[in-house]
Structure 1
Amino acid sequence: MTSAPDGRATGPAAPTPPTTLLLLRHGETALTPHRRFSGSGGTDPELSGTGLAQAARAAASTLLAEAPVHAVISSPLRRCRQTAQAAAERLGLDVEIEDNLREADFGHWEGLTLDEIRTRHPADLRAWQSSATAAPTGATESLAEVAARTATARDALLARHPGRRLLLVSHVTPIKTLIAGALTAPAEATHAMHLSPASLSVLVHTGPRAAMHLYNDTSHLR
């Protein structure tokens, strides 16, 4: 209930409108087609020609055009900044950088394929795939730690932009952990998710609750 200045009850407070997070994975780099691990501690590759085209198509997607987007927030890594810039220019917005949306640190796995990691670091790979507290060989953070910092970014954005529609441009691991959190699934569930380059997913937050409205949509790339 809310109260008038004289103390009379005036009825229930109006509910806060939902906050929508549009989660866009960056477009392809030279490493993407070969499925090579590319984290925050690697070479920070730029988008390939294919990736630039994907970014342009994502920026022109119906999902971004159907309702106002109030802010574009990006990981600091180059591939995300390039993807975000394509959308921001079309939307007439600036790109805001959020460090906690960066990709995981993959340590000695940077630039390797899963088969190469399985051959060189089999025990560490098994541990990482089975426990969110295990880190890749030589890495500085576990999956649980990535999930925690990504949740910190999400909570700050929800507090700063209540009732708004936000485009977050990030990477496989941060986006998957945000989705797992919305579904109240453990961080390890991210290993069972596939996320395509330049795909869009949507989470709608109403108060403390979140609902997944879309996952891994690539219709704008066809």
Structure 2
Amino acid sequence: MTGVALHLLRHGAPERPGLLLGRTDDASTAEGLTVCAERAAGLSFDRVIASDLQRCRLAGERIGAARDLPLTIDARWRELDFGAWDGKAPGVIDPHALGRFRADPDACPPPDGERWSALVARVADALAPVPTLVVTHGGAMRAALHHLCDFDQRAVWAFDLPYGAVLSLRLWRGERTAQITGLRA
């Protein structure tokens, strides 16, 4: 049994880097879109899915057009909702609250934001059973690793997932296990 390829591609660099961009719909730079298209060029997939936020959607449109594949928009692949912190720089957020969130994002979510477990649940629900490229966000990629590989919340932050990073996994139908087959940053 060979499994099914799942490629997770983090969107390109946003026009306003350094902010907590959960649901804030900032665009990627032109260079960021180009990096995403270049990273996808060498991958094998039959389907393109993207978060509905433009920093993912625009890259997904370009990649799909290059392969003559339709783009499926799926909001379940969005970044964690940072609530009251969304669109803000970490330096302007109460450092104690931010520290509690980083230590335990499920027990201490951002004010009016999303819990880690909610992100993991919606990403798990979005997983596709065909060879797929998903243009998504760093948090959603980590949620997929948590769900598929059973890494704990702290372990998923050990993965360096810069803008334009590709995480390739091999999935087996009916199992909640995956094999990491590649990480390109």
Instruction: Indicate whether the TM-score tops 0.5.
Output: yes
Measured on the aligned residues, the alpha-carbon RMSD in Å equals 1.7
Q: 1:98 aligns with which of 49, 68, 74?
A: 74
| One-letter amino acid of the structure 1 residue matched with residue 103 of structure 2 | S
Q: Quick check: which has more Rg, 1 or 2?
A: 1
Contact 2:120 2:146 (8 Å CA) reproduced: no
Residue range with higher mean Cα deviation, 189-198 or 71-80: 189-198
Give matches, 1:106-145, under 5 Å.
106-117=82-93, 121-133=94-106, 134-139=108-113, 141-145=114-118
Q: 1:198 aligns with which of 160, 164, 168?
A: 164
Matched with 2:178 is: 210
**C-alpha distance in 2 between matches for 1:203 and 1:82:** 23
Note the C-alpha offset of 1:122.
Answer: 2.4
Identity %: 26
Partner SS state of residue 164, structure 2:
coil
Contact 2:11 2:33 (8 Å CA) reproduced: no
Q: How many positions carry a matched residue from both structures?
A: 182
**C-alpha distance in 2 between matches for 1:79 and 1:90:** 18
Note the C-alpha offset of 1:52.
Answer: 2.4
Matched with 1:25 is: 10
Contact 2:28 2:55 (8 Å CA) reproduced: yes
Q: Could you tell me the TM-score, scaled by structure 2's length? A: 0.89
The alignment status of 1:177 with 2:177, answered yes or no, reads no
Q: 2:121 aligns with which of 133, 148, 154?
A: 148
**C-alpha distance in 2 between matches for 1:203 and 1:172:** 15
**C-alpha distance in 2 between matches for 1:138 and 1:122:** 17
Q: Could you tell me the TM-score, scaled by structure 1's length? A: 0.76
Q: Unaligned stretches of 5+ in structure 1?
A: 1-14
**C-alpha distance in 2 between matches for 1:93 and 1:210:** 25
**C-alpha distance in 1 between matches for 2:171 and 2:22:** 28
**C-alpha distance in 1 between matches for 2:30 and 2:65:** 18
**C-alpha distance in 2 between matches for 1:137 and 1:193:** 26
Q: Unaligned stretches of 5+ in structure 2?
A: none
| One-letter amino acid of the structure 2 residue matched with residue 185 of structure 1 | F
Partner SS state of residue 92, structure 2:
helix
**C-alpha distance in 2 between matches for 1:192 and 1:86:** 30
The alignment status of 1:46 with 2:27, answered yes or no, reads yes
Contact 2:76 2:126 (8 Å CA) reproduced: yes
